Chain A
Amino acid sequence: MIEHLPALMIAVPLFGAFIAPIFKKHYKGVSIWAIIITGITVILSLLLAKEVVTGGIMIYVFGADKPTLVLPSGYSVPIRIMFEVDAMGAFMAISATLMSFVGALYSYSHVEKETGLEKYYSLLMLLEVGILGMVLTGDLFNLFVFLEIAGIAGSALVGFRNYRGEASEAGIKYLIVSAVASLMVLFAIGILYGQYGNLNLAYIARNISLNLVDMIALGLLFTSFAMKCGAVPMHYWVPDAYTEVPAGINPPLLVATYASLYALFRVSFTLFANIVVDLARVGWIMSILGVLTMFIGVTMALVQKDVKRLMSYHAISQTGYMLLGVGVGLTVLHDPSKLAEFGRDAMAGGVFHIINHIIYKSLLLMTAGALFYVTGTRNLNEMGGLARKMPVTTISFMVGAAAISGLPPFNGFASKLLIYETSYRLNPLLTVFAMVTSVLTLASFVKVFASAFLGPPLEKFENTKEVPRPMIIAMIILAALCIIFGLFPNIVLDKLVYPAVDALINFAQYHSWGGLA
């Protein structure tokens, strides 16, 4: 069974997604079904990660028992679709399944009053399939297909509340961005296919020679994935989409965004890793893009009044940290002494920040969803004095806000410290911007805390109660993860993050699968 894990990771949620419409009108049933299916995928992803970390890269070939099978004519190129799971892919898979599970759990109460829930859960699981496919595949065209699946399912969920015009507005924005981005990815895939006659990532990466056409392909892939992961200047869809989507979908949607970030890393580290000369330049572009993203994101967050919109701008800003961390690593990838000195740690910081950010930002967006659930508004000026009424939400919010601002002992501190220390070695100016951003983040969350939770109790919220139990459990799981990751960062770093970083650095290993020379 173990050798079929990569396929099961896709098959199980896909099965769940297509069974879900059968539960028409049985909304309790379909919620529980989604929780069960996403729960099973969490277990599968943990098994997969264990297998990959101990046993090395896993290759799964569809339609053959071994990847080395070649054409009858003896022309030895990989001809089948295959999944290639390394530690980085397994790391992203864990994030995806965990967040889908938490999202399904939270949705149980959060959307219970809406209609059409069988489609909602079906799309949730399809979104999960899209993310998992993107992070597990070793085939470029497959990457495009799953990118589109995630894009379509994601934008349909953004527009889920179709009685609100704003939801459709956000949905079509997200869909146009993702359609254009994926079409450009397909164009780049066409360019690469035209030259190397293959779609296998490892095969192309080994044969790549940076001529002019390859540079166009690299540029197209880089911009499209940067566009889809919400980097400045293509960030405008992020706040709209995150604000309008039901809060239970926020966690998987965040992971979908970072699956594009993963694809960006995969392209720059694996596909174009053999190009020694120009990679430092790509790394610098990535770092500067990261700094711009974090700074512009946070300055726009400061002026927001809508609580979810404010948090969405912070999501943009935090993406900048990941780009910065990994960009610093990419800059020194071909310089072994500097790589060992600070490059590896910088990448560890960036990659660790992905999972940390997914956890605390989901937590924060869920507390915003809880505020919306009890007050019916997202406007900060209309809230106040909710701390006494909603103790668990308040504490979860405090944990999340402390984590995003990088206060010890929460998880945001662990990864941000790694990024500060290492980006300082490349250029101190990068660190200055990163730290200023962190301070501004704290400032804007103090504002949210003061206006929503503190202050005199308002009369209109006299009868509000704490949110229902499934929402509380989902928030407590994430808050606990924030604290655990913050208190014991070594365990997570050693078990998950450093294997993932090493998988990116040792690109030769990814290229040399299956022994097909």
Chain B
Amino acid sequence: MNGSIFVNFPFIVVAVLLALGFYTIGFKRNLIKVVIGVEILEGAVNMFIVALGYVKGGYAPIYTQAPPEAVGKMVLPTPQALTLTSIVIGVAVTALMLAFAVNIYRHYGTLDVTKIRRLRG
């Protein structure tokens, strides 16, 4: 299947997710939905990086006990390491954003971003 149009399918999904994420951040009024939008963006970026290193029918990049036919067909490990790191960071960011959202709801009584506007001018 390598070489056919379907190889690019993950990247099309990435593009759709990016557009969806930016739309959610830009046009949704609920703060929780904005946080979800950031999460969608993060998913898109992570998927992009993983898709970069993927080989169709590839083997896990572990040299010990690899079958002989795996040579030259291993999936690139670096993008996966990058994605793991980025997921961990993403969890911290989301937790902090939700904590802020809880605190904002406590003080403002609403999660509508058009009403959370005490800082202005």
Query: Which residues of chain A have a CB within 8 Å of any CB of chain B?
Result: 141, 144-145, 148, 151-152, 155-156, 159, 162, 164-166, 168-172, 175-176, 179-180, 183, 186-187, 190, 193-194, 199, 239-240, 243-244, 303-306, 309
Closest to A173 in B: B119
Tell me the bound Cα distance from A190 to B100 in angstroms. 30
**CB pair A180 B116 closer than 8 Å:** no
**CB pair B97 A190 closer than 8 Å:** no
Instruction: Return A124 CB to nearest CB of chain B, in Å.
Output: 16
Interface centre among A171, A179, A303, A304 (most CB of B within 10 A): A179
Interface centre among A166, A183, A193 (most CB of B within 10 A): A183
Q: B105-121: contact bitstring with A at CB < 8 Å (1 yes, 0 no)?
A: 01110000000101101
Tell me the bound Cα distance from A88 to B45 in angstroms. 30
Instruction: Return A444 CB to nearest CB of chain B, in Å.
Output: 14
Q: Which residues of B contact A306 (CB under 8 A)?
A: 121
Which of B38, B108, B121 makes the CB contact (< 8 A) with A179? B38
**CB pair B104 A176 closer than 8 Å:** no
Instruction: Return A309 CB to nearest CB of chain B, in Å.
Output: 7
**CB pair A186 B49 closer than 8 Å:** yes
Q: A155-B96, A190-B49 are in contact. List 4 more A-B contacts (CB 8 A).
A: A152-B92, A156-B96, A172-B100, A190-B48
Given A152-B96, A171-B100, residue A183 in contact with residue B41 (CB < 8 A): yes
Which of B82, B92, B119 makes the CB contact (< 8 A) with A169? B119
**CB pair B25 A175 closer than 8 Å:** no
**CB pair B93 A179 closer than 8 Å:** yes
Question: Does B74 have its Cβ within 8 Å of any Cβ on chain A?
Answer: no
Given A159-B103, A172-B100, A190-B48, residue A165 in contact with residue B118 (CB < 8 A): yes
Question: What are 27 A-B pairs at a CB distance below 8 A?
Answer: A141-B82, A144-B86, A148-B92, A152-B93, A152-B96, A155-B96, A155-B100, A156-B96, A159-B103, A165-B118, A168-B107, A169-B119, A175-B93, A175-B100, A176-B38, A180-B25, A180-B41, A183-B41, A183-B42, A183-B45, A186-B49, A190-B45, A190-B52, A193-B52, A193-B78, A193-B82, A309-B121
Closest to A168 in B: B103
Q: Which residues of B contact A151 (CB under 8 A)?
A: 93
Which of B48, B92, B93, B119 makes the CB contact (< 8 A) with A166? B119
Tell me the bound Cα distance from A162 to B100 in angstroms. 9
Q: Which residues of B contact A172 (CB under 8 A)?
A: 31, 97, 100-101, 104
Given A165-B107, A240-B119, A243-B119, residue A193 in contact with residue B96 (CB < 8 A): no
Question: Does B34 have its Cβ within 8 Å of any Cβ on chain A?
Answer: yes
**CB pair B116 A169 closer than 8 Å:** yes
Instruction: Return A132 CB to nearest CB of chain B, in Å.
Output: 18
Q: Which residues of B contact A162 (CB under 8 A)?
A: 103
Tell me the bound Cα distance from A349 to B117 in angstroms. 38
Q: Which residues of B contact A194 (CB under 8 A)?
A: 52
Tell me the bound Cα distance from A183 to B100 in angstroms. 20
Closest to A187 in B: B45
Question: Does B10 have its Cβ within 8 Å of any Cβ on chain A?
Answer: no
Which of A145, A148, A170 makes the CB contact (< 8 A) with B119? A170
Instruction: Return B55 CB to nearest CB of chain A, in Å.
Output: 13
Which of B31, B89, B118 makes the CB contact (< 8 A) with A145? B89
Q: Which residues of B contact A148 (CB under 8 A)?
A: 89, 92-93
**CB pair B86 A186 closer than 8 Å:** yes
Q: Which residues of A contact B78 (CB under 8 A)?
A: 193, 199
**CB pair A186 B121 closer than 8 Å:** no
**CB pair A176 B107 closer than 8 Å:** no
Considering the complex, which residues of chain B in the window 22-56 have a beta carbon less than 8 Å from any beta carbon of chain A? 25, 31, 34, 38, 41-42, 45, 48-49, 52
**CB pair B118 A166 closer than 8 Å:** yes
Q: Which residues of A contact B104 (CB under 8 A)?
A: 165, 168-169, 172
Q: Which residues of A contact B8 (CB under 8 A)?
A: none
9 tightest A-B CB contacts, nearest first:
A165-B107, A172-B100, A168-B103, A190-B49, A194-B52, A240-B119, A148-B89, A168-B100, A168-B104
Closest to B107 in A: A165
Closest to B103 in A: A168
Given A244-B119, A303-B121, residue A165 in contact with residue B45 (CB < 8 A): no
Instruction: Return A242 CB to nearest CB of chain B, in Å.
Output: 11
Closest to B121 in A: A304
Q: Which residues of A contact B31 (CB under 8 A)?
A: 172
Tell me the bound Cα distance from A186 to B46 in angstroms. 9
Tell me the bound Cα distance from A187 to B45 in angstroms. 6
Closest to A162 in B: B103
**CB pair B25 A165 closer than 8 Å:** no
Q: B43-86: contact bitstring with A at CB < 8 Å (1 yes, 0 no)?
A: 00100110010000000000000000000000000110010011
Q: Which residues of B contact A166 (CB under 8 A)?
A: 118-119
**CB pair B48 A187 closer than 8 Å:** yes
Tell me the bound Cα distance from A303 to B120 in angstroms. 12
Tell me the bound Cα distance from A175 to B103 in angstroms. 14
Q: Which residues of B contact A244 (CB under 8 A)?
A: 119
Given A172-B104, A176-B34, A244-B119, residue A186 in contact with residue B79 (CB < 8 A): no
**CB pair B45 A176 closer than 8 Å:** no
Closest to A141 in B: B82
Instruction: Return A38 CB to nearest CB of chain B, in Å.
Output: 23
Instruction: Return A7 CB to nearest CB of chain B, in Å.
Output: 19
Instruction: Return B59 CB to nearest CB of chain A, in Å.
Output: 17
Q: Which residues of B contact A187 (CB under 8 A)?
A: 45, 48
Instruction: Return B65 CB to nearest CB of chain A, in Å.
Output: 18
Tell me the bound Cα distance from A168 to B106 in angstroms. 10
Q: Which residues of A contact B93 (CB under 8 A)?
A: 148, 151-152, 175, 179
